[in-house]
Structure 1
Amino acid sequence: MAASTFDEIVADLYAASPGDFVAARTARAKDTADAATAAAVRELRKPSVAAWVVNVFARERAEQLGEALSLAAELREAQADLDAAALAKLGRERRALTRRLAQAAGQLAQSRGERVTTATLDAVEQTISAAFFDPDAAAAVASGRLLRALEPNASGDDVREAVAGEVPTLAPAAPRRADELSARRARREAERRVTAAEKELAAAERAVAKQDDVLRTLRARAEELDDDIADLEAQLAQLRREAERIAGELPGATERQEEAVASRDEAARDREAAQRALDAL
């Protein structure tokens, strides 16, 4: 049976019970034939509780963690093609997944009889979040050899200092076929066009509805004005007929008025003559 490598020894020790770390480290150093490796094992520092929780999860739930980290890598690649709304949705989904993984890691640690505080669980969540944002941090988390927790904005130096042994690299994901990538981009572009077209259609439908209201109002007013015009035209026709009747009667009335004036003048003269005759008696 081949001797365990230093990284394998570290992974075993960093997933063991924290209370047994010192004794386990001493025993593994004694059992290691290579002197340099044994010396390196004796110098190992005990991982923090949060790092230990992540190491246990990486060891016991390697498949679940690996799927999540693969998804995170795909999401990082896809971000360049996403709009603001899609990125916001992606951020919410990433945070929810990080929280679920951290809770699962905490439950696994508790099932081993260890107490996991809220502060420890927060540090676990921050470490997994770092793995989602950075491929080096993801490889460190997957290694199961974390010495301490990671921050989401951890630098390359931070990651190297947080791992015992060689800094690992994630196995590259199987490359996607060019036609598959093209199809995904084409689909995203088509979805964006559909969304834009739906927004334009909704705006156009609102404009049509508004113009329908305007048109109905104008037509109703036009009908009211047509009725008013018809009434006024009927009144005008009646007035014209009345004016024609008056115009026809005016000559006769004028003549009769003149005759009446003449009769009055004659009667006035007769009265004056009678008055003079009376005065003469």
Structure 2
Amino acid sequence: MTSSELRRVAKALYELPPAEFTSARNQAAREASQRSDAAAIKRLPRAQATAWAVSTLVREDPTIFDELLDLGERLRDAQENSDPVALRSLGAERQKLLSRASARTRELADGAGVTLSGSAMIEVTQTLQAAMTDPDAAALVRDGLLVRGLAVTGWEPVRLEGAAALPPEGVSMGRRARAARPRASRADPEVSERERKAAEAAAWSALDDVATAHQSVNDLAGALGDLASRRAELEAERTEIEEQLRGVESDLAHVYHDIQVGERDRKAAERAEVQAKKRAKQAQERLDRLG
């Protein structure tokens, strides 16, 4: 099996919801013509729900992902040009676009029967943000073989090791060179400016995380409110059913009593019938003797 053939099999598998992945992967391995091919397929790890959801967004709604990448490029340009007005405007636009992309991701996941928790939605936003800031991360996400989420951490490049089942062409999955944290110096204003830009990027990232977490809290609060309302409805229904049940039990008790009385009366009537038949027979025999 060539690498392109393995990638084709992998892409088909990672389009499946995570719950269906393992059985489908094992079936594909059993159908492989060679043992080495089966082993390669068996090594494909199951994707985390977060990674699957982001890949689904990129596959089903690529336009919104392209908008994120375009906005990320414009943000980098504004940072390079030290344009605070553009940074504020683009920062607000980024938050709106990330919120829209996250909501669309949850919608697609719900449609496929995959539930994303509040923490998973934070990871979704972090992964999309990582793709916006790092072209290699963007290529990895677009490739559709993501198995875990990504995150931007300070001045470090996005860690890609183990993030995808197979590396896309042109992207190194190994350890990439770290961006050294700059040290400010009065004699080196250029270094100081780089530090300011890096701090500004980290601040925007933190604000995004706060906003996403706040939205998750609101979503969970709304869900809990809906559950509380549903619980009240069910408790009211239970009370009504219990009252109906008590009425049925009372009616049933009366029926049981009536059945017992009826059985007693029936047996008495049967005995009376036997006695009446006996008397009738005796009367007929007497009549016959008298001629």
Q: TM-score, normalised by structure 2?
A: 0.52
For residues 167-206 of structure 1, what are the structure 2 equivalents within 5 Å?
A: 167-169=168-170
The residue type paired with residue 117 of structure 2 is T
Three-state SS of the structure 1 residue aligned to 2:161 is helix
Structure 1 counterpart of 2:149: 149
Task: Tell me, yes or no, if the aligned pair for 1:131 and 1:152 is still in contact at 8 Å.
Answer: no
The worse-fitting range, judged by mean Cα deviation, of 101-110 and 5-14 is: 5-14
Alpha-carbon separation, structure 1, partners of 2:11 and 2:19: 16
User: What are the residue-to-residue correspondences of 1:257-268 with 2, within 5 Å?
Assistant: none
CA contact (8 A) 2:130 2:158 kept: no
Post-superposition shift, 1:157?
7.4
* 1:29-178 map, 5 Å: 29-33=29-33, 35-153=35-153, 158-169=159-170
Q: Distance in 2 between matches of 1:32 and 1:62?
A: 32
Higher-RCO chain (CA-CA 8 Å, sequence separation at least 6): 1
Tell me the equivalent position of 1:10: 10
Q: Is the CA contact (8 Å cut-off) linking 1:57 and 1:105 kept in structure 2?
A: yes
More helix by share: 1
CA distance in 1, matches of 2:113, 2:19: 11
Deviation at residue 141 of structure 1 after TM alignment = 1.2
Contact 1:47/1:148, CA 8 A, preserved across alignment: yes
Answer whether contact 1:102 1:124 (CA < 8 A) is retained. Answer: yes
Amino acid in the other structure paired with 2:41: V
8 Å contact 1:130–1:150 — kept in the other structure? yes
User: How many Å apart are 1:39 and its aligned residue?
Assistant: 1.3
Amino acid at match of 2:152: P
The 8 Å contact of residues 102 and 121 in structure 1, kept in 2 or not, is answered as yes
For residue 34 of structure 1, report the CA deviation from its aligned partner.
5.1
User: Conserved in 2, the CA contact under 8 Å of 1:160 and 1:167?
Assistant: no
Amino acid at match of 2:166: G
Q: Give yes or no for contact 2:137–2:160 (8 Å, CA) kept in 1.
A: yes
Aligned length: 169
- For the 8 Å contact 2:79–2:87, the answer to whether it is kept is yes
Q: What is aligned with 1:24?
A: 24
CA shift digits 1:18-76 (9 cap, x unpaired): 11111100122233335433311101111111111112112222343234323423442
Residue 84 (structure 1) shift: 1.6
| Matches of 1:32 and 1:92, distance apart in 2 | 50
Distance 2:36 2:76 in 1: 40
Give per-residue Cα distances to partners, 1:209-236, cap 9 Å, x unaligned.
Answer: xxxxxxxxxxxxxxxxxxxxxxxxxxxx
- Letter in structure 2 aligned against 1:136: D
Aligned to 1:253: none
Secondary structure of 1:119's counterpart equals helix
CA distance in 1, matches of 2:108, 2:45: 23
Matched position secondary structure for 1:91: helix
Q: Which amino acid aligns with 2:162?
A: E
Asked which structure has the greater CA Rg, the reply is: 1
Q: 1:261 matched to which residue of 2?
A: none
Gaps of 5+ in 1: 171-281
Assess, with a 3 A threshold, how the Cα gap between structure 1 residues 79 and 117 changes in structure 2: closer, same or farther.
same
Is contact 1:14-1:144 (8 Å) kept?
A: yes
After superposition, what is the alpha-carbon deviation per residue over 1:68-121, rounded to whole angstroms, capped at 9, x for unaligned? 323423442343224222212222211221221111111101011111211111
Q: Quick one: distance in 1 between partners of 2:170 and 2:98? A: 21
Partner-residue secondary structure (3-state), 2:90: helix
Alignment partners' CA distance in 1, 2:34 and 2:101: 37
Give me the CA root mean square deviation: 2.5
My pick for the range that moved more, 61-70 or 133-142, is 61-70
Distance 1:76 1:109 in 2: 31
Counterpart Cα distance in 2 of 1:62 and 1:149: 18
8 Å contact kept, 1:6–1:165 = no
Alignment check: 8 A CA contact 1:66 1:142 kept: no
| Offset from partner CA, 1:229-267 (integer Å, 9 cap, x none) | xxxxxxxxxxxxxxxxxxxxxxxxxxxxxxxxxxxxxxx
1:7–1:165: 8 Å Cα contact kept in structure 2?
Answer: yes
**Distance of 2:41 and 2:57 partners within structure 1:** 22
